[in-house]
Structure 1
Amino acid sequence: MPGQASFSRVVVVPRPIDDAGRVVRTCVDGIQGASVLEMRPDGALIVRRTGLIARSEALTLKFSKIDEATTKIELATRRRMGMRAPDDVPSELERKLMSALTEAK
């Protein structure tokens, strides 16, 4: 995938790093139009297509162990085609995913 991810958003979840992928998948399943394109032990690639026009977004997630019971999840927007918001403004997908991850127990 071209481009360099710039991780600008962080969510800390009270789950072991081994559970991070499952927590992310559960959160993404609750967001209409979003799907997990790739899941790895150290992160994930989340995509969302909005409508029939090629307006899509891809988020790269990176998982880091804080301690045995806590994981840091960093989010980076890799591309926004057809979206005009600057990268420092969280997209709807970013807001929904960050909210769901924050509420994950």
Structure 2
Amino acid sequence: MYLTSSRPDIVHTTCLCARYQAKPTENYLKEVKMIFCYLWGTINTGLWYTKDSGFELTGFSNAYYAGCKDTFKSTSDGAQFLGEKLVIWSSKKQDCTALSTAEA
């Protein structure tokens, strides 16, 4: 989970794999290996903030309805930008089961 604090491009996939760490299957171990291969291929990618970035705050959110195949709980994702620079992101499985896409 440490990597998700500096690599927003892997937040969703890493959180998805972390749900099954108590009883990992072969498929999820393959997914984790793919994450590490992706990280190795993008090792020079990072976040870069300059002092002349804008101060306009913009936010986005998304929900995946019944995304968890085991519990049918939805996943909420969000990102906030200051100017054109990403400053905050999140991905979290919802605590309750949504009954519709709109509710998710």
**TM-score, with structure 2 as normaliser:** 0.29
Larger Rg: 2
Q: Which has the higher helix share?
A: 2
Indicate the structure whose relative CO is greater, using CA pairs within 8 Å and at least 6 residues apart.
1
- Which protein is richer in strand relative to its size? 1
